Structures are given as C-alpha cells and as structure tokens.
Amino acid sequence: MLDGVEWAAAEIVFYMLLATLIGFAIAYVFIRWFQTGSIADSFEAELAAQQELTRKAEHRLIESNESLDKVQLELRGEQQRVGKLQAELESAKTALAELEAATPDESEVAQLQADLESSRAETAEAVRQIAELESAKTASDEAAGDRAETVEKLEQDLAEARLEAVALQQRVTELESAVAECAGRRDELESQVEELAAARISGEVAEETGPAPEFPAPSDREAPSQEEGLERIAEIAARTAGAGPRADDDLKKVHGIGPKLERTLKDLGISSYRQIANFEADDISYVTAALDAFKGRIERDDWMGSAAAEHMKKYGEPA
C-alpha cells in the first residue's frame, strides 16, 4: 500500500496530468475557434461573391427576358403582316384566275366578226334586191294597167324585202355593238390582269394607277382621292342629267364601259348617255377617282364622244 507521501506525490502527478490535459483541451478549443472563424469569414466572402454573381445573372436574365418579349412582339407583328400579305396574295390570285377565265375567247370574237361580215353581205344583197324590185315596179307601172296583180305582188315583195333589210340592219348594229363591247371588255380585263400580276410579284395589292402618259391630267391641280370623288359624284350626276326624269340607258354601249363599270356607275347615280356626254374636265377627274380607275382612261376611251353618239342614235337629238 502507498503511504501518505507517495499518495500525495501520486495525487500531485495526477493533477498535473489532469491540468496538462485540460490545457491541451483548452488550446485545442481556442485553435478550432480561430480556425472556424477564419473559415466562416471565407465562406461569407465566397457567399457574398456568389450572391453578387447571382444578382448580376438575374439582372442579365431580366434584360434577356425583356429583349425576348420585344422580339416576340415584333415576330408576332411580322407574322400577322405576312399572314395579311398571304391572304391578299391569295385574293389577287383568285381575282386573276377569274379575270383570265372571263377574258373573251378569241374564237367567240372571231365568230362575232364573221357573223357581222355575213350580215353585212346579206344587207348588201337585200339592198340590191330592193333596188331590183323598185326598178321592176317602176317598169311594171309604166307598162300597163292590166298588170295590177303583178304590181301588187311586187309591192308585197318590196315591203317584205324592206322589212328584212331593216331587220338585217338592226342585226348589223347589234353585232357591231357586241364586237365593240368585247373589244372594250378585253382591254379592261387585260389592264386589270397586268395590274394584278404586278401586285402578285411584289407581294402586295397596290392601288390601281394604270399609266396613261399620252393623256394629260384633266386639270393642273393634284388628282382628287377616291373619298373626294365619292363626295362629288352625286353633284356631278345631278348637274349633268339635265331637266326631266333621268334615263336608264345601256351604258355598255359606250366604248370602254363593261358590265362591272356600268353597275358601279349606276350605283353612283350615273345612268344615262347624257350625263357621260356632259362630263367636264373636273368631272372626269372626280369620276376617275370615285371609280378608282387609272388616270386618263376616260379620255383614252372617249366616253364623252361615244356617249354623245349613242344618245343621238337612241333619242335623235344632241346630248
């Protein structure tokens, strides 16, 4: 057994070891504390840098989203414009196909011309027969009174020949009008086909402007717009109609006016030869604008002269 001194020495050694261990533990704790503080600072600095990078990235992302939204809006606008242009192009293609289908067939025009020539020949033959019958009647009248029956027969033949000549003359007039209408309609359709073909190439349906360099503008002022033409058309229609009821003439007989233009003119209040024949220079410019026709067309086709001639032919008096 240990005596008191040995026990005290052992106790001192124990406490010294214990103090050493405690010192080591405290030193270890302080070292770890300082190391932890340094690591935390490093982590905080790195975290702050990452947060700054994240903030900048979010800012760039917001800017990118705004740019993307703007581009998407522009893209939608372009898509709408392209869709509109495609629709207009399809409409132009359809109109072009309709116009090409409506173009008078060459064989039809040739047949009308052949019928016209045939009718003229028949008319000439009828006139010759009338002359022969009139000569025969004159000879019969001078021959003797006992040939009354023959004279009567010749008179009947003469009357029938005259009626036939009138009918043939009317047929010739109708054929001439039909040929003129076909020619005017073909000119109109060819102009529209050319304009629509040009619009199809450019991808847009442009406003009709049809060049007519050989016909100057009706007046020195700027050509009116379609709205201005529509505003003035009623006044022009009333002023040029003259006194009395307004006639409803066949405007297709006027050179250069087809069925479509006739319907448009009558819808605007212009329904008689007299009105067209009395167009003045300013009237022509407003009517051209209201019809949305190319400048110089009315002068080129001489609507006024043709309408005056048709009025004289129908009513037997100047327009």
Among candidate residues 84, 102, 120, the one where a domain is terminated: 102
Does residue 59 form part of some domain?
Answer: yes
Does residue 212 form part of some domain?
Answer: no
Q: Are residues 3 and 55 in the same domain?
A: yes
Q: Are residues 190 and 233 in the same domain?
A: no
Q: Are residues 91 and 144 in the same domain?
A: no
Report the pLDDT value the prediction gives residue 205, as an integer from 0 to 100: 32
Terminal C-alpha separation, the chain: 161
Report the pLDDT value the prediction gives residue 212, as an integer from 0 to 100: 33
By the 10 Å C-beta count (0-12 exposed, 13-18 middle, 19+ buried), 290 is classed as buried
Q: Are residues 6 and 98 in the same domain?
A: yes
**CA neighbor of 119 nearest in space, from 173, 83, 77:** 173
Q: Are residues 17 and 94 in the same domain?
A: yes
Does residue 219 form part of some domain?
Answer: no
Among candidate residues 170, 202, 234, the one where a domain is terminated: 202
Does residue 217 form part of some domain?
Answer: no
208 contact partners, CB below 8 Å, separation of at least 6: 195, 292, 293, 294
Two structure tokens written together for 3: 């005596």
Two structure tokens written together for 161: 């020949």
Q: Are residues 97 and 34 in the same domain?
A: yes
Does residue 157 form part of some domain?
Answer: yes
Considering its fold, how many domains does the chain have in total? 3
Among candidate residues 102, 129, 153, the one where a domain is terminated: 102
Report the pLDDT value the prediction gives residue 179, as an integer from 0 to 100: 61
Report the pLDDT value the prediction gives residue 210, as an integer from 0 to 100: 39
Does residue 261 form part of some domain?
Answer: yes
Report the pLDDT value the prediction gives residue 239, as an integer from 0 to 100: 94
By the 10 Å C-beta count (0-12 exposed, 13-18 middle, 19+ buried), 199 is classed as buried
Q: What is the DSSP string of 157-204?
A: HHHHHHHHHHHHHHHHHHHHHHHHHHHHHHHHHHHHHHHHHHHHHHTS
Task: Give residue 119's domain range.
Answer: 104-202
91 contact partners, CB below 8 Å, separation of at least 6: 205
216 contact partners, CB below 8 Å, separation of at least 6: 296
Our separate counts of H helices and E strands in the chain read 9, 0
Q: In b/e form, how buried is each residue of 143-170, taking b as 16+ CB within 10 angstroms?
A: eeeeeeeebeebeeebeebeeebeebee
By the 10 Å C-beta count (0-12 exposed, 13-18 middle, 19+ buried), 191 is classed as middle
Q: Are residues 1 and 96 in the same domain?
A: yes
Maximal CA-CA distance, the chain: 203
Q: Are residues 32 and 43 in the same domain?
A: yes
CA 145 to chain centre: 77
Report the pLDDT value the prediction gives residue 175, as an integer from 0 to 100: 65
Q: Are residues 135 and 121 in the same domain?
A: yes
Does residue 221 form part of some domain?
Answer: no
How high is the mean pLDDT in each 10-residue block of the chain (319 residues)? Answer: 68 83 82 68 75 79 76 79 80 72 65 76 80 76 65 70 66 65 63 53 38 38 84 94 88 93 94 95 93 87 95 91
Q: Are residues 7 and 82 in the same domain?
A: yes
Report the pLDDT value the prediction gives residue 215, as an integer from 0 to 100: 33
Report the pLDDT value the prediction gives residue 145, as an integer from 0 to 100: 62
Q: Are residues 97 and 133 in the same domain?
A: no
Amino acid at 73: L
CA distances from 95 to 13, 99, 197, 250, 287 (A): 118, 6, 10, 26, 24
**CA neighbor of 299 nearest in space, from 214, 201, 184:** 214
Does residue 215 form part of some domain?
Answer: no
